[in-house]
Structures are given as C-alpha cells and as structure tokens.
Amino acid sequence: MARAVLWWERTAPLASLLLFMPAPKAKMTRLLCAAPALLLAASAVAQEAPPAAGSPAPDPVLAELIRESLAHRPELRQAGALVQAERERVPQAGALQDPMLSLGIQNDGFAGIQVGKMETSFYQVMITQPLPWPGKLGLRSDVAAAGVRLAEASLARARLTAEADVRRAHLDLLLVRDRLALQARLEALWSRAEGLSRIRYESAEGPQSDILRAQLERNRLRQRRWALEADERTRRQALNRLRHHPVDEPLPTTASVRGLGLPLVPGAGAALADAERRSPELLLARLQAARATSQVALARRDRYPDLAVTAAIMPRGELAPMWSAGVSVTLPIFSGAKQSRAVAESEARAAASDIGAEAVLQLLGLRVQERQVLLASLVESAGLYRDGLLIQSQATVDSTMSQYRVGRVAFASVLEAVGGVIADEEGFLQAVAAAWRVDIASDEVSLEAAGGASGAMASGSVPGAGAAGGGSMSSGGAAAATGGGDAASSSTSKM
C-alpha cells in the first residue's frame, strides 16, 4: 500500500498535467489514451528502495550450490588424497630399517661338504639390524608430521577457493540476470515511447524521426539481448561445472544483486587479525619454517654415527654349533664434505623459510588494506546511487516527460532521461556486485590484487541505455528539464 501511495504521489502531477492542459479535442483524445502507458513507463523504472548495508539473508540456493561443490570438486578430492598420502609417511619415517638376513656356508676344501666333520666347516644364519643414533627417528617423524600439516593447509586453501569460486559464479549469474531484467524494462520503455511518439506524430505535434528513432533503438536492443543471454548461459554453465552437474542444466535463482544490500566494512585492525588467523598461505609459510627448523635439527643429528647390531649362529652338524654377535658403527670421516654441508644447507633453507613467512605476512597486510580501501569506496558509491542518484534520475524522468507533453523539450530529452535512470540502476548493480566480490575475496583471504573489483564495477553499462552513455544522467536530465531540448536532440545512443 505504501508503495502504491508513493507511486501515485510521483505520477499524480504528471497525470493532472496531461488531463487538464488545453489541447484540441482530437489530440486530447489520443493523449488521454497514451497517458496510462506514459505513466506506466515512468513507473517502470521506479524500484523498491535497495536494502542498506549489512549481511544479506541466507540464500538456500547458494548454500546448496556450495555444498554440492565441496562434495564433488575434483580439486578437493585431490587435496584430500594428498593429505592421506602425507599421513602415511609419518609411520614410515619413524620406523626402523628392515633387518637383513644373511645365509651362508663355510667349508674346508672342495672335495665335499665337511660340515659336521671339520670344526671350521659350518652353515651360517646371520641377522643384522641397523639402529640410527638416538633421536634421529623422532626428528624424522617430526619432519613427516610437518608435511601432513602442510598438506592440510593446502586442503584448507582449496576449500576456501572452492567456496569463493561458487560465490563469485553465483554473483555473476545474478548480475547478468538482473541486467536481463533491466533490459526487459528498457525494451518495454522504448516500446511505450514509440507509441507515444506515434500519437504525437499523428497529432502533428511531433516529427516522424521520433518514431524512427524509437524503432531503431528497439532493434538495437534485440542484438544486445542476445549478447546478455549468451553471457547468462556461460555463467550458468560455469556454475554447473563447479557443482558437478550437466553444464546446460537449468539453474533457478531466488536472490538478486539488488536485494543483496551492501557488505559491512570491518575495522582495519579486526580485518588484519582475521586474515592472519585464517590465511592458508601464511600458515603454509609458517609451517614450512617450522619444518625447516626440524630439518636443521635432523641434519645436526645426522653427524652422529649410526649403529648396526649383528647376531649369527653357525650349525656344524654333529659338532657343537657356533654363534657370534657384534656391533658396527659408521665412521663419518667425510663429515666435512657431507654432514656439515647438509647442516649448512638446512640452516640456509630455514632462514629462507623465515623470510618467506615474513614476506607473506607483509603481502597479506597489503591485500587487507587494499580491500579495505576499495570496499569502503564501493560501498560509498553504491550508497550514493541508492540514496541519491536513483531518486534524482526518477524525478528527472517525471519532469522531462511532463515538459515533453507540453512541447517544451524534444523527444530525445525524454529518451535521454529514461536512459539515465537505467544507466544509474546499472551502475548501482555493478557497484553492489563489485563490493560483494571484494567481500568474497576477504572471506577467501586471497592474496590476489584487489584491483579487479573496481574494474568490474565500471566494466559496462546496461545494453540499450540510450543516450545515457553508461553514466549518471542526472545532470543531462536536469538540462532537458530546464529547456535544453535542442542539445538533447543531438545526443546519440550508446551502450
């Protein structure tokens, strides 16, 4: 009811002007017939006020898309398999080497087997068990366990990226569908404008060029709709691929970019702390540094010799058996060229890992600051559209149509003002979508540069925005409303 009252308050002055301005009877009849269409055209661009900033209501469609993607994404299954593979390495690293079994015979002479006849002839069964220096197995297990944590961090990155990919693809699909809806409104508007120009032409109040101009724009709109429909199909195919469905399967959506509202801009300190806590890249860098530290300790322990325990029994047939036992030790006589160099290598790699973690931390802080600045700018821009430009553009349309009715402005001014509303709504949609892309990147804790979002905001205007030229037409509409019809009539249609 409130929306109906608001619509009537906006359109009542125009209706009164159409009904009570003096005109010849025949012309008045035609204009009275055109008045409902004109009022509908003016109200077609009026939309419900967009939501304010804040988290949008949960979207069950998006939640289901994310669930399906996380369940079927090949990259996640691959990362999970790598985690399992790293886990299987831990018990291997902590296990002793396999013992060695040796079988042999010692015989006196070549005339025959002398076992049992000669005291120095015997069979031999010997087992040798290598034993690393104490502490080496534990350090090797620590290094292998660090590999598990690295694989788990990579899996966490894959999950964040998979969810962000679905959210971005869903946002792109909503945006192109909103643009298609905007295109449909513009087509209806041009159709009504053509009817109004035809009535004025038949009443000898308007030139035939107005009709031709409207017909030309309607044909151009058909071409632009094909491009948008192809874009919508591409976005839908990409989203179906992410959730492991047939790419051409229909995908209904219930949300819209306009209804998302605007994301909240968190404080710089809170955003940085959250990013440091959740960043898989920073965790990977720190885990690599921790593993490098364990490798240094292992390399230092490798300078100590390893042992080997040997036990053997020598059966001699009818004679009493013999046995032996012993311990062998490796002699690290080449430690200067091997073990010491390995320690130096591990220490250098550990230092590099520490520096790498510091570099990731600095880059993460930079990306957080970039997104903070960009998100604040986009929210402010979208808020200006929502609270100012969209309202002013609609008022400009009403004023320009009123003046066109009494012949104070040219038909091109009406088209320009209407195109301005569409262009401003397109700009608003692009700004909201760009803001949510930045928010998605924040949730993903991405290290990618944030500049792409601003480019997306200005990537294009709504097809068929007429003389709007892809920007705000509030000033142009105001010029038309003050009698700038000659200048407006020379404007050309742009995307």
CA-to-CA distance for 320 and 182, rounded, in angstroms? 103
For residues 402, 405, 411, 415, the Cα torsion angle rounded to the nearest 10 degrees is 30
Read off φ and ψ for residue 329, nearest 5 degrees.
Answer: -130, 135
**Please, what CATH class does the domain formed by 23-89+136-298+338-489 belong to?**
mainly alpha
What gap in Å lies between CA 379 and CA 83, rounded to an integer? Answer: 40
- Comparing CA positions, the residue from 203, 146, 165, 190 lying closest to residue 70 is 165
pLDDT per residue, tens digit, the chain (495 aa), is 444 434 434 443 334 333 333 334 444 344 334 443 443 444 444 444 555 555 566 789 999 999 999 999 999 999 999 999 999 999 999 999 999 999 999 999 888 888 888 888 999 999 999 999 999 999 999 999 999 999 999 999 999 999 999 999 999 999 999 988 888 877 777 677 677 677 767 777 667 777 777 777 777 778 888 888 999 999 999 999 999 999 999 999 888 898 888 899 988 899 999 999 999 999 999 999 999 999 999 999 988 999 999 999 999 888 889 999 999 998 888 888 888 999 999 999 999 999 999 999 999 999 999 999 999 999 999 888 888 888 888 788 778 767 766 667 777 787 787 778 788 888 999 999 999 999 999 999 999 887 443 333 333 433 333 333 333 333 333 333 333 333 333 333 333
Q: Beta strand 100-106 with 319-329: parallel, antiparallel or unpaired?
A: unpaired
User: Residue 422: which of 177, 260, 232, 183 has the closest Cα?
Assistant: 183
Q: Which residues contact 44 (CB under 8 A, 6 or more apart)?
A: 185, 188, 189
Q: What is the pLDDT of residue 54?
A: 56
Cα separation of 182 and 422, whole Å? 7
Q: Residue 483 — left, alpha, or beta (φ > 0 → left; ψ -120 to 50 → alpha)?
A: left
Residue that is written with structure tokens 């709007």 in the block = 468
Rounded (10°) CA dihedral 78, 79, 83, 85:
30
Helix (H, G, I), strand (E, B) or coil at 36: helix
DSSP state of 304: S
Q: Are 74 and 283 in contact (CB under 8 A)?
A: no
d(CA 155, CA 77): 9
Q: What is the pTM of this model?
A: 0.73
Work out the number of other CB atoms within 10 angstroms of the CB of residue 367: 21
Q: Helix count (H) and strand count (E) of the chain?
A: 14, 4
| Rounded-to-integer distance, Cα 399 and Cα 480, Å | 9
Helix 474-481 crosses helix 411-444 at what angle (to 10 degrees)? 160
Q: 131 pairs with which residues across the strands?
A: 307
